[in-house]
A and B are shown apart, each in its own frame.
Chain A
């Protein structure tokens, strides 16, 4: 089944404790991206990647890191999480050539206390 898999689904952590949210896709898509969704602010793009070793900032990159060492994986790293990073996070992938929409993961609900 074609899908984007995010883990974990839920995560509660403390301020300053480094964490990684994993994202993997099995569709051989070039383009992968991370979003956060907050009430009243909608979905905002954090980082995106157009292919292996090619990443770039989205609208809200501060406090986040990403890497794309393999085509299928695009982890989101919070080096020192803060409470304002409490949010619902989504990973998505799509073919780079366009003409197709994004496939989203099921989301990761992160709480930083």
Chain B
């Protein structure tokens, strides 16, 4: 069966460090992969999209990598700040559907 896995345990890091979140998937051949940020009680906010033929994408302090051989995407936040604390979701588009992972909660401590 198709599965998208993100680390369900919260990731706690110190301000200024780089946060790295992982998204693994099985039995998908996604056209592209997206990352979202979600704050409690609010709708997800789109951050970055990476296509199957791209290895890396950057936007300001954010970087996403996509390895279709390993079936894995890594999401990096450099120089993290307490304001980056949130839940981060990955999502795969395969066919016409968009499927989300369970999300990883990031806590950045001052």
Please give the residue numbers on chain A whose beta carbons come within 8 Å of chain B beta carbons, in ascending order: 4, 33, 35, 40-45, 48, 50, 56, 58-59, 88, 90, 92, 98-107
Contact = CB atoms under 8 A, between A and B. Distances in A.
Interface residues of B, number: 24
A101 B41 contact: no
A35 B100 CA distance: 10
B96 interface: yes
B44 interface: yes
The prevalent SS among residues of A at the interface is: strand
A40 B49 CA distance: 25
B97 interface: yes
B45 interface: yes
A106 B98 CA distance: 19
Interface in B1-54: 31-32, 34, 36, 41-49
B42 A107 contact: yes
A59 B91 CA distance: 14
9 contacts: A35-B100, A42-B89, A42-B102, A42-B103, A43-B44, A59-B97, A102-B98, A107-B41, A107-B43
A48 to B, nearest CB: 7
B8 to A, nearest CB: 9
Given A42-B102, A101-B34, A58 B97 contact: yes
A106 B42 contact: yes
| Residue among A41, A45, A50 having the largest count of chain B Cβ atoms under 10 Å | A45
Contacts of A42: 89, 100-103
| Residue among B32, B44, B93 having the largest count of chain A Cβ atoms under 10 Å | B44
| Residue among A48, A90, A101 having the largest count of chain B Cβ atoms under 10 Å | A101
Contact of B98 (A33, A40, A100): A33
